[in-house]
Amino acid sequence: MAVTINIRNFYYWYTQDVFIEVSDEVAAEFLDDMRYEWAYQRRTFYNKAHYSLDAGDGIEESALACYDDCPERVFGLLERYCDLCHALNSLPEIQGRRIDAHYLLGKTQTEIAQSEGVSEVAVHYSIQKGLAAMRNFLKKI
């Protein structure tokens, strides 16, 4: 049985609603991932990791990363993040997916090539071309 989901709810770089049909198992994985992320945020807050002085094990450090004394700097970082999301979203789907997998998910170009059934060279050139397109997009802003 197929379930219709809105990709925009799961991927931050989608700026418009995109509905796709997926199997029940895939929909369940998406929901589990959302629950895991929500539980992580709640756990961070519950354990007072958002203001702990002991920021060495990662949970406090990730919570503190978004806090800063200067609101202008925080706003600037937020603007830069939005610009990067728009630049990534402006790419063709394949380039965007490969850049996301390489830089955000930490996959190697070899892993991406194997999972897509293409050559490493194709993945490399696609990523380089996508980065150049993102650079040009960001220069226009």
Summary mean pLDDT of the chain: 82
Cα–Cα separations (whole angstroms), residue 114 to 59, 75, 129: 33, 39, 20
pLDDT at 52 over 70: no
Please state the rounded mean pLDDT for residues 95-111.
90
Tell me the two tokens of residue 67.
């806090």
Tally of domains in the chain: 1
- Residue 108 to residue 134: CA distance in whole angstroms: 20
Residue 117 sits in a domain whose CATH number is: 1.10.10.10
Is residue 28 included in any domain, yes or no? no
Is residue 48 included in any domain, yes or no? no
Q: pTM of the full predicted structure?
A: 0.52
Winning range, highest mean pLDDT, from 6-15, 62-71, 112-121:
112-121
pLDDT at 136 over 70: yes
